[in-house]
Amino acid sequence: MIANLLKRPIRTLLRAGGLEIRRLRPVEDSDRPFSMPATLDRARALGLAPATVVDVGAAFGTFARECAAVFPTARYLLVEPLSECLPSLQALAREPQRADVFPCAAGPAAGERVLHVHPDLGGSSFFEEHEDSDVNGVPRVVAVETVDAIVARADAAGPFLIKVDTQGAELEVLAGATATLQRTEMVIAEVSLFRFFAGGPLLHDVVAFMRSRGFAVYDVAGHLRRPLDGALAQLDLVFVREDGPFRQRHEYATRAQRDAQTRAFQAARPIVREE
């Protein structure tokens, strides 16, 4: 990102002045790219224990499998309207973890809606994209149910972990999850930084919606850059209850952690070498 672009000219300038920057510690987990498994592992270590995981936009089950590796005793509700994905999800439902497949889309109300089935399947959306390609694919009418209705029909118990990856329809899905959100500790939602989907929300819209429901941004579990120019395009944002256990403490570090960080910063200061 911007910091990376500045590293080389800064190093060149420092060397011209007889200075050198050296890494005095190994790369830590906090330096690594965002990762869904790492995010889930941290959440579990801090006490997250969902009884039910609601995976909206389950696709071929990638998230469900990652999540089941961390929360193997949870029940999984896999919501996916694409028939092409159902064999993979049904195979997942036959594995040891308890999983139920719902072959529908999720939205603010029950009914039917046109889904634009993309050639890559994974980008399929209710909303059209405006670009010079065949990305919008073929329109297909699919059934729609609310998350609340799905949870009630499954007689699923909380607390819930909700993941929503629906290519621009995230707020519509969450609008149909009012009752479920009241028993949810964490929500993972894909958000866009550009208006790829005509009529879809941007990052700030999703943050405002979640804040109005008592949730705050907590982590980033993944990111995607667009091929057009390498700009940051989408994030998998993690939300937790604003007054929940993940936000009980607001200090940055313990005294021991702060002292250790200060020593590390002091040790990493540029070393002046005499020419």
Question: How does pLDDT run across 31-87, given as a tens digit for each residue?
Answer: 456 899 999 999 999 999 999 999 999 999 999 999 999 999 999 999 999 999 999
> Tokens 């672009």, residue?
5
- CATH, domain range 27-244: 3.40.50.150
Q: Domain residue spans in the chain?
A: 27-244
Cα 107 to Cα 148: distance, rounded to the nearest angstrom: 10
Percent of the chain with pLDDT over 90: 73
pLDDT confidence of residue 275: 64
Supply the mean pLDDT for the chain: 87
Task: Tell me which of 161 and 3 has the higher pLDDT.
Answer: 161
Tokens encoding 94: 């036959």
Question: How does pLDDT run across 244-268, given as a tens digit for each residue?
Answer: 999 999 999 999 999 999 999 988 8
pLDDT confidence of residue 163: 98
The pLDDT-based confidence of 235 (bands split at 50, 70, 90) is very high
- For the cut 80, the answer to whether the pLDDT of residue 122 exceeds it is yes
Cα dihedral 185, 190, 193, 195 sign: negative
pLDDT confidence of residue 88: 93
